[in-house]
Structure 1
Amino acid sequence: MLTRRHIRVKVLQSVYAFNQTAYQDIEKQEKFLLYSLDQMEDLYLIMLQILVEMRDQAQEYLVKSQNKHLPTAKEKNPSKNFVNNKLLQLIAEQSSLSEAIKKKKLNYWKEDDEYARILLKTLRQQEWYDTYLAKSEPSFAEDKDFIIKVYKEIVAPNEKLYDYLEDKRLTWLDDFPIVNTALVKVLSKVSGKNVKTVLLPELYKNDEDRDFAVTLFRKTILNEEKLSKEIDGKTPNWDTERIAELDMIILKMGITEFLNFPSIPVRATINEYLEIAKEYSTPKSSLFINGILDKIVKEFTEARKLNKIGRGLT
């Protein structure tokens, strides 16, 4: 589920936090780094669960409507396409999901059920929702397409839900876009045959990604003085004290990757940090960082400091 860019962002945040603390404890900060990465899995679980909660609340609404003193004809014989949605049934039946929610104590939507109601209210206002309800026995593919549309257009963009998640855990702000992307990909792949293996993806693609996070963090912190010297003299128009702190950290992380990760191409490293700078630093940071990293790559290449494995890695 995690991408290398997301890992880099988390490391950037952790290095910045470490530099801001009066009592610097690298072990403690490393634990928080791994904890903040783990939080993305929690967010994925509750976003998956809210779809099931919406269905459950829709079922309760149908029952209440039918039990009215004077129900309308539509309330007497409502469409059950949403409450019987085959994809949601598959998800709800997976014990692995309910067990993970229970184990991690993430049953937010039973306690804060108003958010599912808000989403349902918005959903009922859509013409395409009425079109779906009017279908006669929709297929699994139609049910899946509908739920993906619900997630993309109703759940993910909802500002009240976003504010709620921000209040719950601040680390989820940066996780939200990547979780949304991962969840939509999973929903598009799920079938009756693969649901048990596809529904709950591993947080890390492999152990190498977790090691990448820890190594990048530790080597950036522990080699701070050496990395600063590599940057000195490369900024003729700027004293190092005047360089934005985030830019300095990005530069140091880039240099750390050049020297310690032989399988990562130099250009891939530079491109990743330029994109991160565009999102998290100043408007001119990406141009500045690109220039400095290019100079350092040329210098390292001439000095044969780059130890890249394979073709096209420099």
Structure 2
Amino acid sequence: MATRHQVRQSVISLLYAFELNSQNNVFVDEILDEKKIRNEQKKFTLNLYHGILDNLNNIDETLNSFLNDNQITALGHIERAILRLGAYELLFTDTPSAIVINEAIELAKELANDNSPKFINGVLDALIKAKK
């Protein structure tokens, strides 16, 4: 059974694939099968993924307000996906903010460049503070 961390890795993969080929959703089942995401974890993964896509404009507008001179579209695909997942969980789920931040940092350490964990932490931390 996949862990929640593996589920979040899968969501990042789905978001990345979506950006590269948004016309074709065939990749969804392929990615989930490859990562052995099944049953309840598959449901959780798809809820996160579709929740992000359904709220993408709102998430991006919110993130843009914390990116100073940048826009979310100027970031790398992986950093953008991690920030979108983190922002979605902070804004639309009951997941504790400490878990969201920790997961985002771990995903950045695993998947992005060396500067990304600190950057992602800063953006999501600012979002948490503004939300209070």
The two structures share one fold, judged by TM-score above 0.5: yes
Q: Distance in 2 between matches of 1:212 and 1:32?
A: 16
Structure with a larger share of its residues in helix: 2
- 8 Å contact 2:16–2:81 — kept in the other structure? yes
Q: Distance in 1 between matches of 2:113 and 2:58?
A: 25
Task: Letter of the 1:15 partner, please give it.
Answer: L
Aligned residue pairs total: 132
CA RMSD of aligned residues (A): 1.9
- 8 Å contact 2:86–2:124 — kept in the other structure? yes
2:113 is paired with a residue whose SS is coil
Which of 106, 113, 116 is 1:275 aligned to? 106
* Structure 1 residue 242: Cα displacement: 2.9
* Structure 1 residue 237: Cα displacement: 4.2
TM-score, normalised relative to structure 1: 0.39
Query: Gaps spanning 5+ residues in structure 1: where?
Result: 39-202, 302-314
Larger Rg: 1
Alignment of 1:171-210 (within 5 A): 207=40, 209-210=41-42
- 8 Å contact 1:227–1:255 — kept in the other structure? yes
After superposition, give the CA deviation of every residue in 1:185-222 in whole Å (9 maximum; x if it has no partner): xxxxxxxxxxxxxxxxxx76x72x33211111111222
Which of 278, 286, 289 is 2:117 aligned to? 286
Note if 1:212 corresponds to 2:44: yes
Residue aligning to 2:6: 6
Residue aligning to 1:222: 54
- 8 Å contact 1:14–1:33 — kept in the other structure? yes
TM-score, normalised relative to structure 2: 0.87
Task: Letter of the 2:23 partner, please give it.
Answer: Q
Structure 1 runs of 4+ with >6 Å offset: none
* Structure 1 residue 235: Cα displacement: 1.4
Q: Distance in 1 between matches of 2:46 and 2:72?
A: 26
